Amino acid sequence: MEKPVIIGVGMVPVGEHWRVSLRDMAVEALLNAMEDAGIDKVDSLYVGNMASGSFIEQENLGALIADWAGLGNIPAVKVEAACGSGGAAVQEGAKAVMSGLEDVVAVVGVEKMTDAWPSDATRFLGYAADAEWELFHGASFVALNALIMRLYMKTYGYTEEDLAHFAVNAHRNGAKNPYAMFKKEIKLETVLNSPYVADPIKLFDAAPMCDGAAAVIITSKEKAKELGVPKEGMVELAGFWRAIDTINLANREDFLTLKAAKVAAEKAYKMAGVTAKDIDFFEVHDAFTVMAALSLEALGVAEKGKGAMLAKEGQIAIDGDYPIQTMGGLKARGHPVGATGVYQTVEAVLQLRGEAPEGIQVPDAEVGLTQNIGGTGSNITVNILRRV
Amino acid sequence: MGKPMQVARHWRHFEEKYALIGGKCENGHLMFPYREICPVCGSRNVEKHKFSGKGKVVSWTIVRNPPSGFEYYKPYPLALVQLEEGPVVLAQLTDVEPEEIDFGMEVEMVTRKVREFDEDGIILYAYKFRPVLKPQKE
């Protein structure tokens, strides 16, 4: 089956946007992407969003955003897979194009988190867990990840410092990304001296609460040519899949394996005809530092239990063997939950077009991978992008 | 924040939350909470099974920035506890200082208050786990 291509990208800087609403951000990112693609209409819209109903008391985002972006009476719908909503929305847009039903599809990922009181926001993020068996007991999302981190450290003999390298790397790259929330490098001590949120996860092991929106335009190669898009303006979505795992962490066979990422990655690699060795950079879901380690293991980049070694040894830097979080990752770029998967896609496209900011462009990047996690690994998307 | 109709919602789980009753399928697979379909073998023949309430700590954390509704209780310890019959449950630990908690610590189930809602709400009780009580030396 013919693989779809991304012909336009747009985003707004991630941050605490007190003066801007969800619809403003989504429309701006969307229009940026359409302008980038050189088009003024699309056949349909897919919105990646996790919890607009809770955060801003607004559902029906398909209608809201398509209406305010002036897209006319097109099909528009919200795609939800917790923090993995953005990556999932990109896949739904790609499927629509591959089916032949829709020619030019827009995907926008958006989340407005800072309109909610922090403890309420913590609760809303907890809705991605099992409400009756996890949130009921007072489990925050950070707490569930902390249970995993403590076990990971104990099982493989890592320290908090070992995992802190992931945060340092993310900030080093994010400092050069104008769209990142934290454009500031940090030292290991910054991470280690930050207060515990849920031991052993400290403030600087975790991604921030924030607002943001990012968008991509997806079409077929044939249609892209018809629209006059040059070859270098196209990035192929070469392989993609997603899979679920138990929603309740306690029910998982192995707390330290992201099984859903393994399944999704195997299928995506096969569809793209590549292996982990062929990938030039990885945008993994580092909502918490331990998730970056587990992701590298699930994606086949590191053996089980060795993910944190790659950070310790510096192999995840831009000039390392396995660059990750090239634009700051969730930790430094920011993690507006339902938008994150689309930000990752936009960043991968910029890398593959050679348009990443100076200092964080991966030289001669041909293939990139984005991995977007919903829940504590319960709903994971893997997308592989390739230069046409 | 809206208030969902909490009474029926929690009443449905009294057996599990007060008595730690889960499930056992026809092939002997144990599960907690109870579900209609065995997650291991897919059997649809699952009976109720009462767990002993004895277990060991697999991992734990101290929740310092809780979700709304739990602010009053912070900081509180939360753990994955492996029951002696095999399944793992997530629950708060109680009657223990954070520094006393360790991997493999033996714990037992007790019934405790989990949280209160506002004045028109209800008080929720459920299982928590405490270090196993040992007889005091004479």
Pair (A293, A218) in one structural domain: no
Sequence-separated (6 or more) residues with CB below 8 Å from residue A50:
A80, A81, A82, A83, A85, A111, A128, A337, A338, A374
Query: Do A106 and A151 lie in a common domain?
Result: no
Domain end marker among A235, A252, A283: A235
Do A189 and A328 lie in one domain? The reply is yes
Q: Which amino acid is at B48?
A: K
Pairwise CA distance, residues A231 & A234, whole Å? 6
Do both A253 and A363 map to the same domain?
yes
Could you tell me the CATH number of the domain that includes residue A23? Answer: 3.40.47.10
B30 interface with A at CB cutoff 8 Å? no
Closest-CA distance, B23 to chain A, in angstroms, reads 13
Distance of CA A361 to CAs A189, A281, A322, A340, Å?
A: 27, 10, 13, 20
A200 to chain B, closest Cα gap in Å: 7
For residue B72, the 8-state DSSP code is G
Q: Do B60 and A150 touch (CB under 8 A)?
A: yes
pLDDT of residue B121: 78
B78 touches chain A (CB under 8 A): yes
Question: In chain A, which residues have their Cβ closer than 8 Å to the Cβ of B13?
Answer: 132
| Domain carrying residue A244 | 129-208+238-387
| Ranges of chain B with pLDDT below 70 | 1-5, 119-120, 138
How many Å apart are CA B111 and CA A106, to the nearest integer?
51
Question: Angle, to 10 degrees, between the axis of helix A289-298 and the axis of helix A160-174?
Answer: 90
One-letter amino acid of A293: A
**For A119, which of B59, B66, B76 is closest by C-beta distance?**
B66
Fold (topology level) of B7-131: OB fold (Dihydrolipoamide Acetyltransferase, E2P) (2.40.50)
pLDDT score, position B138: 63
Domain residue spans in chain B? 7-131
The reply to whether A80 and A60 lie within a common domain is yes
Q: Is residue A49 a part of any domain in this protein?
A: yes
CA distance A211 to A23: 11
Q: Which pLDDT score is estimated for B117?
A: 82
Q: What distance in Å separates the CA atoms of residue A230 and residue A380, rounded to the nearest whole number?
A: 32
List the structure tokens of A164. 């802190």
Q: How crowded is residue A358: how many other Cβ atoms within 10 Å of its Cβ?
A: 6
A367, A113 Cβ separation under 8 angstroms: no
- Chain A residues with CB under 8 Å of B70 CB are 138
Angle at A148 between CA B82 and CA A346, to 5 degrees: 145
Closest CA to A103 of A239, A241, A2, A235: A2
Neighbour tally for A354: CB within 10 Å: 13
Report the alpha-carbon distance of residue A245 to residue A252 in Å, rounded: 8
Token pair 């002696």 in the structure block, residue: B84
Q: What share of chain B is helix, strand, coil (3-state, %, to 5)?
A: 15, 40, 45
- pLDDT tens digits, one per residue of A195-215: 999 999 999 999 999 999 999
**A335 and A348 inside one domain:** yes
DSSP class of residue A206?
Answer: B
**Are A110 and A175 in a shared domain?**
no
A137 is catalytic: no
B71 inside 8 A of chain A by CB: yes
Cβ of B78 within 8 Å of Cβ of A137? The answer is yes
A103-126 burial by CB neighbour count: b if 16+ within 10 A, else e? bbbbbbbbbbbbebeebbbbbbbb
Q: Quick one: A178 and A245 in the same domain?
A: yes
Q: Which tokens belong to A158?
A: 């890592």
Asked if A217 and A250 sit in the same domain, the reply is: no
Same domain, yes or no, for A109 and A137? no
Cα gap A325→A344, rounded to integer Å: 9
How many C-beta atoms surround the C-beta of residue B116 within 10 A? 13
Residues A216 and A191 both lie in one domain: no
C-alpha closest to that of A356 among A311, A310, A321, A323: A323
If you write DSSP's letter for every residue of B88-133 in order, what string do you get?
Answer: EEEEEB-SS-GGG--TT-EEEEEEEEEEE--TTS-EEEEEEEEEPP
Residue A259, phi-psi category: left (phi > 0), alpha (psi -120 to 50), beta (remainder): alpha
Looking up tokens 């089956």 gives: A1
The angle, 0 to 180 degrees and rounded to 10, between the axes of the packed helices A85-99 and A340-353 is: 70
Residues of A in contact with B103 (CB under 8 A): 154
* Cβ–Cβ under 8 Å, residues A139 and A373: no
Q: Is A210 a catalytic residue?
A: no
Distance CA A132, CA A130 (A): 6
A101 and A160 in one domain?
A: no
Residues of B in contact with A138 (CB under 8 A): 63, 66-67, 69-70, 73, 76, 78, 92, 114-115
Distance from CA of B25 to the nearest CA of A (A): 16
Residue A122 resides in a domain = no
Q: How many CB pairs under 8 A join A and B?
A: 109
Categorise residue A70: left if φ over 0, alpha if ψ from -120 to 50, beta otherwise: left
Q: What is the pLDDT of residue A60?
A: 98
Cβ separation B66–A148 shorter than 8 A: no
Q: Give pLDDT < 50 ranges for chain A.
A: none
**How far apart are alpha carbons A128 and A131 in whole angstroms?**
8
Instruction: Indicate whether A352 belongs to any domain.
Output: yes
In A, which residues are within 8 Å of B90 by CB distance? 133-134, 137, 139, 144, 147, 248-250
Sign of CA dihedral B56, B60, B62, B63: negative
Q: Which two tokens stand for residue A258?
A: 């992201």
What is the predicted pLDDT for the residue at B4?
A: 56
Q: Give the count of domains, chain A.
A: 2
